[in-house]
Amino acid sequence: MAGEFELIKRHFHYPVSHSVLGVGDDAALMQPRPGMQLAVSTDMLVAGRHFFADADPFLLGWKTAAVNISDMAAMGAEPRWITLALALPEADEAWVGAMARGFRDCCEAYCVDWVGGDTTRGPLNLCATIFGEVSPDKAVRRTGADHGDDLWVSGWPGMAALGLAHLQDRLELVSDWREACLERLHRPLPRVALGLALRGVASAMLDVSDGLCGDLSHILEASEVGAILDETLLPLEPLLAACKRTEAATKALLSGGDDYELLFAAPREQRGHVEAIGRHLELPLHRIGRILDKPGLWLQRGDGVAEALQAGGFDHFQTD
C-alpha cells in the first residue's frame, strides 16, 4: 500500500502553466498579473453530507474542482490556481488515482493550475481552495441589486436536484432524461465565461448551490431589497419533461440546488445586452423576475396573484 508521500508524488504532481512553482515544496509560488486583485474561496465536500460514500471517484474529483471554480465565476473572477486537502479512510491508490484524474481534468478544462494541498487519514473529506484574479472594482458582488432590476438565471436549474431525487428513490425520471439529470448532478459546468461577460452588466450575482430561493435570499439580504418571481417565466420545460410532475419540477427549480448555475440581477436597460451574451455563449439565460424596493420574496402566479415564498436554502447544520 502506498504511503502519503508516494500517493502525492504519483497522483498530485502535474505541470503548471502560469505559476512560478507548483507542487513539491513547502509552498507554491504564484504571481498575480499586474494590477489584479486576488479572489479566494474554499469549499469542502464531506462523504454522507455532500456525496454518497460510494460515489464515482473520477466524478467526485471533477465536482470538487468545479464547485470551487464556480465561486470564481460567481464574482466575475478568472480562476487561476487551486489546492486540494484530502482526508482518506485508507490509502486506496486506485480510488485516489481516479479522483485525481477527475480533479485535474476539470482544472485543465478551465485553465486552472493545481498547485498544492495535503493528505491525511480520516473520514472521507475533500477541501479545495481556489484563487482567481479580477480587476479592481470589477468583481460582481451580492450587494448591488436595485429596485427594478431584472432577475436572471443561467441554464436549467433543478436538473441536478431531480437526479439526486432519482438516486434516493424519491422520484422516477423519464429514461430519456435520466442521464442528463445525473450528469448535471455529478459533473457541473462552472459558468466562467458567463461570469466574465457579466462584469459591468450584472448588478449582483452568485452561483446556485443551495437552491435558487435560498441563494437569492443572500442577494436580497446583502442588497437590502426584495424580489418577485414570475411563474410564467420559470424555466420548467426540461424538468417537467424529466419527471412529468409539476409540483416536483417546481420544487426542484426553486429549492433543489447543486446546479452551480449563475443567478444575477441586472438593470432593465441591460436586458438586450444580457440576451446578446446568452446568444454569444450559446447558453440559455432566463429572465425570471425582478427586484423590489421592499423586503421579502414572492411568486406571482399565472393568474396574477402573488404569494410569499420561503427563502431558506440548504443548511449544513439542519437536522435531517
187 is in an annotated binding site: no
26 is in an annotated binding site: yes
Question: From CA 265, how far away is CA 206, in angstroms rounded?
Answer: 10
42 is in an annotated binding site: yes
- Cell 466562467 maps to which residue? 192
Bridge-based pairing state of the strands 150-154 and 113-121: unpaired
142 is in an annotated binding site: yes
Following DSSP, what letter does each residue of the chain receive, concatenated? ---HHHHHHHHS----SS-SB-BTBSS-B--PPTTPEEEEEEEEEEBTTTB-TT--HHHHHHHHHHHHHHHHHHTTPEEEEEEEEEEESS--HHHHHHHHHHHHHHHHHTT-EEEEEEEEESSSEEEEEEEEEE-TT----SS---TT-EEEEES-TTHHHHHHHHHTTS-PPPHHHHHHHHHHHHS----HHHHHHTTTT-SEEEE-SS-HHHHHHHHHHHHT-EEEEEGGGS--HHHHHHH--HHHHHHHHHH------EEEEE-GGGHHHHHHHHHHHT--EEEEEEEESSSEEEEE-TTS-EEE-------TTS--
293 is in an annotated binding site: no
203 is in an annotated binding site: no
314 is in an annotated binding site: yes
303 is in an annotated binding site: no
207 is in an annotated binding site: yes
259 is in an annotated binding site: no
Question: From CA 12, how far away is CA 14, in angstroms rounded?
Answer: 6
Chain centroid to Cα 239, Å, comes to 19
Question: From CA 292, how far away is CA 306, in angstroms rounded?
Answer: 13
Phi/psi of residue 89, nearest 5 degrees: -65, -30
169 is in an annotated binding site: no
Enumerate the known binding-site residues for substrate. 50, 258, 314
Enumerate the known binding-site residues for ATP. 117-118, 142, 209
Enumerate the known binding-site residues for Mg(2+). 26, 41-43, 71, 118, 207, 210
Enumerate the known binding-site residues. 26, 41-43, 50, 71, 117-118, 142, 207, 209-210, 258, 314
